[in-house]
Amino acid sequence: MTGSGKKNPYYQGPVSDHFDGRRFFNPGGVAPGNAFDLLRWQLSGGRVRWPNPVISAFPPARPDRHVFGEQMRVTMVGHASMLVQIAGLSILTDPVWSERVSPFRSVGPKRVVPPGIRFEDLPHIDLVLVTHNHYDHLDLETLARLHQAHRPKIVTPLGNDTIIRRTVPDAEITVVDWGDHIAFKAGVTIDVEPCHHWSARGMGDRRMALWAAFVLTTPSGKIYHVGDTGFHDGINYEAAARKHGGFRLAILPFGAYEPRWFMKGQHQNPEEAVKGMKLCNAAYVAGHHFATFQLTDEGIDAPVHALDAALKAEGVEAGRFRPLRAGEVFDVPVV
């Protein structure tokens, strides 16, 4: 790895085992496909057209203000956006309420199903976890709305704070690196863990802000939240289990994975997600990253069908891995 080239616009810091002085990278992993790979994919003609609009089987949820005791509740907004309620806290993961996940208002992947919670029906939001800077995970318009309405604390990996502050200059942001451990409130901590992915907001800033997964440790149990990841031979899942001893809940992606030759290093497929569940020792999984924005080639229902087959093949009860639809509420059983 080298640090040569123009200055990183988001982050300046010391070289590490995943930062070469200019760009972040996946140790022992692979870099994302280049522009020629992207063009090859776009010209391949393999995309299955999604229906639009789609009506969720679940009406928009109206969440309780708080969840206490042993309760752990996840409500699906859509894609990677979920409301996690635990220990009196309301937490949003990668919140996106925008109609498109794109730098442009009229071009780019468009939402096919309305958000599973109306923005105005949100409880007070205490914490926002932003895993990386891709547009389907870091939505500046939504973060600005959240700041105006709730002023939540934001936790995000190195470099993403610079992007957020361009729109929300007075946001309360805790910037973290892999391996960091922070105390959020009494009895609630956040550990920052590696995942196999990449980042970019445009053509000239690839891998200039970090990506990460999070582990929430609470009095009601541990949650392992992964926004995007390639499977990477299960290395990060095994490491998380060794470090944290397993989880009451893992929040895992399982969609946006075709074609495999292009997506394998950045998005795991349903079979890999089930293997990841077992490797990280998760009692239950809230599955996400499907049936909201068409980012890749597979049909809208393909991830769920493939997940059903993978669960049967791995001998995992279907109720333990829940592919959450917009508006669906998952009360995670106590273990």
Amino acid at 213: A
Helices (H), 208-259: 235-244
For each of the chain's 335 residues, which pLDDT tens digit applies? 444 568 999 999 999 999 999 999 999 998 888 878 888 888 888 899 999 999 999 999 999 999 999 999 999 999 999 999 999 999 999 999 999 999 998 999 999 999 999 999 999 999 999 999 999 999 999 999 999 999 999 999 999 999 999 999 999 999 999 999 999 999 999 999 999 999 999 989 999 999 999 999 999 999 999 999 999 999 999 999 999 999 999 999 999 999 999 999 999 999 999 999 999 999 999 999 999 999 999 999 999 999 999 999 999 998 999 999 999 999 999 99
pLDDT score recorded for residue 37: 83
Amino acid at 115: P
pLDDT score recorded for residue 38: 81
> Strands (DSSP E) along the chain, which ranges?
72-78, 81-86, 89-93, 127-129, 153-157, 172-176, 181-185, 188-193, 213-218, 221-225, 247-253, 282-288, 321-323, 329-331
DSSP lists the bridge partners of residue 250 as 224, 285
pLDDT score recorded for residue 5: 66
Task: Work out whether the CA dihedral 135, 137, 142, 143 comes out positive or negative.
Answer: negative
As a whole number of angstroms, the distance between CA 23 and CA 18 comes to 8
* Residue 74 backbone dihedrals phi, psi, to 5 degrees: -120, 125
Distances (CA, A) of 116 to 96, 97, 104, 265: 11, 10, 23, 29
pLDDT score recorded for residue 71: 98
pLDDT score recorded for residue 22: 98
Packing angle of the helix pair 235-244, 270-279 (nearest 10 deg): 30
Contact yes or no for 137/198 (Cβ under 8 A) = no
Question: In terms of Cα–Cα distance, which of 19, 192, 17 is closest to 8?
Answer: 19
Question: In terms of Cα–Cα distance, which of 285, 289, 278 is closest to 253?
Answer: 289
pLDDT score recorded for residue 43: 83
Query: String of b and e for 80-100 (b: at least 16 CB within 10 Å)?
Result: bbbbbbbbbbbbbbbbbbbbb
pLDDT score recorded for residue 2: 43
> Which token pair is 105?
């208002």
What kind and span of H or E run contains 35?
helix 35-42
Residue at token pair 């049909």: 299
Residue 183: Cβ within 10 Å count: 10
Residue 56: Cβ within 10 Å count: 18
pLDDT score recorded for residue 39: 82
Residue-range domains of the chain with CATH: 60-331 (3.60.15.10)
Looking only at the bridges linking them, the beta strands covering 247-253 and 221-225 are: parallel
